[in-house]
């Protein structure tokens, strides 16, 4: 348990600081403009040269000086007209108010007390504009974005959005497990995933449909053959085959089938994945703990540019729960940027933002061209 003394106020640093200023509350329940808003940390206020600790400390309150020279920590609603309230917005003593930061966790910055400082939270805004810009930048400069996806992407019916990204050149390589391909192919052949329809209904006898889908691809000999024979007519695997985007399907202990082409030996599978991660210039991991951590293990946190400089390798990790992102960081992928949402919604909105970014760049380019053409 951390223990520490109050500051040594005889130190010249403190004697040089001015007294705090106080202003009267304009009316009951209202603090004066510029009031000092408290934290939950040890706080001292300079009054006539003395540093006084306010009583009954708590955060989000004002500091009221009473006639006896006592300072009280008081909620705004309890302020009465004319109460003398400390004003200021500095916590370093320069305005006569000093906040001790011994209890702030190591690593927090100078402005020690802050809200919303967690790394990953469903309560943080998702910056789709930046992600869209990064993706379009990558395509423009010939980058190699590696996408890593889990089966929830398919169950939740983000198949068509994923196919769009593949067909439009935003995917360097797709890394996934057997299940992603199985559900995607079941959806193409039967319209269901594990027997569940697009609207979440369970179908009669549906529990066998993924096995029938696998069996048909096994009979065809490969996913590419099944596409060529018209068995698979849309979706993620179809788009990879049609657009010649490389994919690695790695096996796992929970696989059904597996589909032909799934690499069942984990050492071979790691080598196959790493052939792509060493080329990666960006990584997007969606709704998979297993494959995200596997990829994170192999992925450098940086890309070396032609001029020798380093830049961060943008790594986006999307999951319904903060836990997967924290786990990824706990396995060393500190550069991961967490997005806490549903895979279906993420894909849908990201596509809309990428489409907007493309339109905006096209408009700018046309403007520049037509402008250049103007004599």
Per CB under 8 A, contacts with a copy of itself among 25-54 are 26-27, 29-31, 35-37, 39-42, 53
Q: Find the binder of a copy of itself among 312, 364, 366, 368 (CB under 8 A).
A: 312
Q: Find the binder of a copy of itself among 15, 80, 321, 366 (CB under 8 A).
A: 321
Report angle CA 65, 69, 75 to the nearest 5 degrees. Answer: 25
DSSP per-residue string spanning 53-89: PPBS--SS-EEEE-TTS-EEEE-GGG--TT-EEEE-S
Q: Find the binder of a copy of itself among 94, 302, 362, 368 (CB under 8 A).
A: 302
Site string for a copy of itself, 5-24 (x = CB under 8 A): xx------------------
Per CB under 8 A, contacts with a copy of itself among 176-215 are 177, 193-196, 198-200, 202, 204-208, 210-212, 214-215
According to DSSP, the β-strands at 247-250 and 282-286 are unpaired
Q: Is 70 in the site for a copy of itself (CB under 8 A)?
A: no
Q: Find the binder of a copy of itself among 10, 67, 306, 309 (CB under 8 A).
A: 309
Q: Find the binder of a copy of itself among 111, 191, 229, 366 (CB under 8 A).
A: 111
Q: Is 331 in the site for a copy of itself (CB under 8 A)?
A: yes
Q: How far is the CB of 314 from a copy of itself (least distance, A)?
A: 6
Collapse the DSSP code of 269 into the 3-class scheme (helix H, G, I; strand E, B; otherwise coil) and give the result. helix
Residue with tokens 């569940």: 196
Point out which span in 69-77, 223-231, 235-243, 366-374 binds a copy of itself (CB under 8 A). Answer: 69-77
Q: Find the binder of a copy of itself among 46, 71, 145, 291 (CB under 8 A).
A: 291
Comparison of 239 and 344: residue with beta carbon closer to a copy of itself: 344
Q: Is 286 in the site for a copy of itself (CB under 8 A)?
A: no
Q: Of 348, 329, 255, which Cα lies nearest the Cα of 289?
A: 329
Q: Which two tokens stand for residue 153?
A: 């992407």
Per CB under 8 A, contacts with a copy of itself among 225-264 are 250-258, 264
Q: How far is the CB of 167 from a copy of itself (least distance, A)?
A: 21
Q: Is 278 in the site for a copy of itself (CB under 8 A)?
A: yes
Q: How far is the CB of 67 from a copy of itself (least distance, A)?
A: 21
Q: Is 364 in the site for a copy of itself (CB under 8 A)?
A: no
Neighbours of 281 (CB within 10 A): 18
Neighbours of 248 (CB within 10 A): 23
Q: Are the CB atoms for 290 and 249 separated by under 8 Å?
A: no
Q: How far is the CB of 346 from a copy of itself (least distance, A)?
A: 7
Q: Are the CB atoms for 188 and 162 separated by under 8 Å?
A: no
CA 92/CA 280 separation, integer angstroms: 45
Q: How far is the CB of 196 from a copy of itself (least distance, A)?
A: 4
CA 248 from centroid of its chain's CA atoms: 25
Q: How far is the CB of 320 from a copy of itself (least distance, A)?
A: 4
Q: Let me know if 203 is exposed, middle or buried by CB neighbors in 10 A (0-12, 13-18, 19+).
A: middle
Comparison of 19 and 330: residue with beta carbon closer to a copy of itself: 330
Site string for a copy of itself, 127-146 (x = CB under 8 A): x--x---x------------
Q: Helix/strand/coil (H, E, C) string of 183-239?
A: HHHHHHHHCCECCECCCCCECCCHHHHHHHHHHHHHHHCCHHHHHHCCCCCCCHHHH
Q: Is 356 in the site for a copy of itself (CB under 8 A)?
A: no
Q: Of 72, 46, 37, which Cα lies nearest the Cα of 57?
A: 72
Q: Find the binder of a copy of itself among 49, 80, 92, 352 (CB under 8 A).
A: 352
Q: Are the CB atoms for 44 and 115 separated by under 8 Å?
A: no
Q: Which two tokens stand for residue 37?
A: 């808003």
Q: Is 371 in the site for a copy of itself (CB under 8 A)?
A: no
CA 38/CA 89 separation, integer angstroms: 10
Comparison of 242 and 337: residue with beta carbon closer to a copy of itself: 337
Residue count, binding to a copy of itself (CB under 8 A) = 142
């Amino acid at each position: 348990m951390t223990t520490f003394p109050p500051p040594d106020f005889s130190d010249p640093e403190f004697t040089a600081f001015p007294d705090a200023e106080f202003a009267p509350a304009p009316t009951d329940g209202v603090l004066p403009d510029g009031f000092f808003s408290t934290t939950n940390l040890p706080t001292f206020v300079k009054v006539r040269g003395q540093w006084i600790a306010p009583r009954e400390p708590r955060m989000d309150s004002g500091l009221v000086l009473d006639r006896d020279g006592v300072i009280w920590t008081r909620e705004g609603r309890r302020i009465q007209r004319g109460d003398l309230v400390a004003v200021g917005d500095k916590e370093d003593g320069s305005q006569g108010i000093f906040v001790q930061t011994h209890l702030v966790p190591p690593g927090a910055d100078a402005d020690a007390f802050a809200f919303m400082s967690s790394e990953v939270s469903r309560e943080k805004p998702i910056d789709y504009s930046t992600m869209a810009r990064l993706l379009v930048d990558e395509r423009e400069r010939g980058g190699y974005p590696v996408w890593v996806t889990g089966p929830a992407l398919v169950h939740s019916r983000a198949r068509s959005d994923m196919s769009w990204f593949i067909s439009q050149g935003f995917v360097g390589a797709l890394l996934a497990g057997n299940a992603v391909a199985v559900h995607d192919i079941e959806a193409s052949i039967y319209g269901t995933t594990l027997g569940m329809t697009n609207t979440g209904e369970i179908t009669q006898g549906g529990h066998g449909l993924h096995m029938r889908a696998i069996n048909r691809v096994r009979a065809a000999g490969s996913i590419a053959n099944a596409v060529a024979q018209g068995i698979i007519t849309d979706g993620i695997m179809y788009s990879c085959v049609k657009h010649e985007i490389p994919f690695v399907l790695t096996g796992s202990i929970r696989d059904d089938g597996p589909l032909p082409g799934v690499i069942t030996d984990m050492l071979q599978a790691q080598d196959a994945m790493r052939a792509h991660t060493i080329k990666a210039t960006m990584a997007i991991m969606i709704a998979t703990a297993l494959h995200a951590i596997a990829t994170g293990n192999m992925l450098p946190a940086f890309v070396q540019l032609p001029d020798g400089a380093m830049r961060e390798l943008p790594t986006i990790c999307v999951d319904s729960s903060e836990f997967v992102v924290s786990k990824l960081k706990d396995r060393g992928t500190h550069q991961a940027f967490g997005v806490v949402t549903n895979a279906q919604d993420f894909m849908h909105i990201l596509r809309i933002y990428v489409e907007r970014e493309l339109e905006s760049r096209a408009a700018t380019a046309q403007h520049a061209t037509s402008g250049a053409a103007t004599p």
